[in-house]
């Protein structure tokens, strides 16, 4: 059986709702054995067809807000980057709580390869948020606007590309995170394919990685001393030697080696990294991630749209960035 899984748990609610991760089970159709000729090819499977959603019942639309048009506009922002995505607003119903409505969506894909499934969420009285599987996430025709504004004001990591913030891609990453290391190649591709983008590296050292906070502090000091080019040289060297961060002695050697590759003095950078101002800057970056409802790495914010990078193909990532450009009226 083929299953459509809509993950809405925790801080990834908005991301998961926007990505609709499709998962296929191992069960497959097995063609029947030929009656006589064992060498004959099995019959070709019937071509898949797009699902046909049943017509919604007007009786299922008992809430005054949100309107079906408002929900459709929200879903177009989330899912419109994928031409194969299709959905039907099935119901918008009142709940016992004034101002809270329950929304039910039928979702599938036009290729017919996935079985349609349902997603539901509750819109809140302010009209700007929804409650989905224990998390509150932005809602509306422009759900990413508030996060985008916060990033424009508070994202202070070193960047490459444009000094302008029309298209701002903010990567929240941890130097000791294996998935962060894996996605750096895709970040390099983004820099080539979107030369007008401002691509920011924002520190999010996770508590389970003991060397990550110090590596973040080193990176800040490298950038302060040598500029953005020195920072990205340092970052690439740290990721290349990431295994060395597993022990205290190895972390010192790895960070010092990366500083040397960036053309700077390790002793000077180490002293800088231990200062209260730099430690506070790392903590402020973590606080920014918390305020944006991010607690996993690597996560990319594309003009405020949260995109989990782990396991994502570059083609899909590029498609999302291009779509967000279009939504925000940015000339490619």
* Residue-by-residue DSSP string for 158-186: -EEE-SS-SSEEEEEE-TT-HHHHHHHHH
Overall number of domains in the chain: 2
| pLDDT given for residue 17 in this prediction | 53
Residue 313 belongs to some domain of the structure: yes
224 and 131 share one domain? no
| pLDDT given for residue 32 in this prediction | 35
205 and 302 share one domain? yes
In total, the chain counts a number of residues equal to: 332
199 and 313 share one domain? yes
Q: Consecutive 10-residue runs of the chain (332 residues): their mean pLDDT?
A: 30 45 30 39 60 91 96 96 94 96 94 87 96 89 96 98 97 98 98 97 97 98 98 98 97 98 98 98 98 94 96 96 96 78
203 and 254 share one domain? yes
In 35-163, the DSSP E strands lie at 85-94, 101-109, 117-123, 129-131, 136-138, 159-161
| pLDDT given for residue 22 in this prediction | 33
| pLDDT given for residue 332 in this prediction | 76
Provide the β-strand partners of residue 117.
107
What's the CA gap between 191 and 193, in Å, rounded?
6
Point out the domain boundary residue: 119, 139, 159.
Answer: 139
pTM: 0.84
User: What token pair was written down for 243?
Assistant: 């295994």
| pLDDT given for residue 46 in this prediction | 54
| pLDDT given for residue 135 in this prediction | 85
| pLDDT given for residue 47 in this prediction | 55
Point out the domain boundary residue: 118, 139, 160.
Answer: 139
| pLDDT given for residue 239 in this prediction | 98
Residue 118 near residue 91, CB atoms below 8 Å: no
| pLDDT given for residue 43 in this prediction | 55
Q: Which domain holds residue 321?
A: 146-327
| pLDDT given for residue 37 in this prediction | 41
Point out the domain boundary residue: 139, 165, 198.
Answer: 139
- Provide the CATH number for the domain around residue 223: 3.40.30.10
Provide the β-strand partners of residue 159.
200
């Amino acid at each position: 059986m083929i299953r459509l899984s809509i993950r809405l748990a925790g801080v990834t609610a908005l991301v998961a709702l926007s990505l609709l991760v499709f998962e296929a089970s191992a069960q497959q159709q097995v063609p029947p054995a030929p009656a006589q000729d064992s060498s004959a090819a099995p019959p070709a499977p019937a071509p898949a067809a797009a699902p046909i959603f049943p017509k919604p019942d007007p009786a299922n639309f008992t809430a005054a807000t949100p309107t079906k048009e408002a929900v459709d506009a929200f879903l177009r922002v989330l899912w419109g980057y994928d031409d194969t995505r299709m959905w039907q607003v099935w119901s918008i119903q009142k709940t016992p709580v004034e101002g809270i409505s329950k929304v039910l969506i039928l979702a599938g894909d036009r290729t017919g390869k996935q079985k349609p499934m349902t997603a539901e969420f509750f819109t809140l009285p302010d009209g700007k948020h929804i409650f989905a599987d224990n998390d509150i996430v932005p809602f509306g025709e422009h759900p990413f606007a508030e996060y985008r504004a916060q990033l424009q004001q508070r994202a202070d990591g070193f960047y490459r590309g444009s000094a302008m913030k029309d298209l701002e891609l903010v990567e929240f990453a941890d130097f000791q995170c294996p998935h962060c290391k894996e996605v750096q190649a895709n970040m390099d591709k983004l820099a080539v394919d979107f030369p007008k983008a401002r691509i920011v590296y924002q520190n999010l050292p996770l508590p389970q990685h003991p060397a990550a906070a110090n590596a973040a502090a080193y990176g800040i000091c490298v950038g302060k001393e040598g500029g953005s080019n020195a920072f990205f040289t340092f970052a690439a060297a740290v990721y290349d030697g990431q295994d060395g961060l597993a022990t205290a002695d190895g972390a010192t050697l790895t960070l010092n080696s990366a500083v040397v590759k960036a053309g700077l003095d390790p002793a000077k950078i180490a002293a800088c990294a231990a200062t209260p101002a730099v430690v506070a800057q790392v903590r402020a970056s973590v606080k920014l991630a918390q305020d944006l409802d991010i607690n996993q790495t690597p996560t990319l914010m594309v003009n405020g749209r949260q995109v989990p990078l782990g396991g994502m193909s570059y083609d899909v990532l590029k498609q999302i960035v291009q779509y967000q450009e279009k939504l925000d009226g940015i000339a490619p």
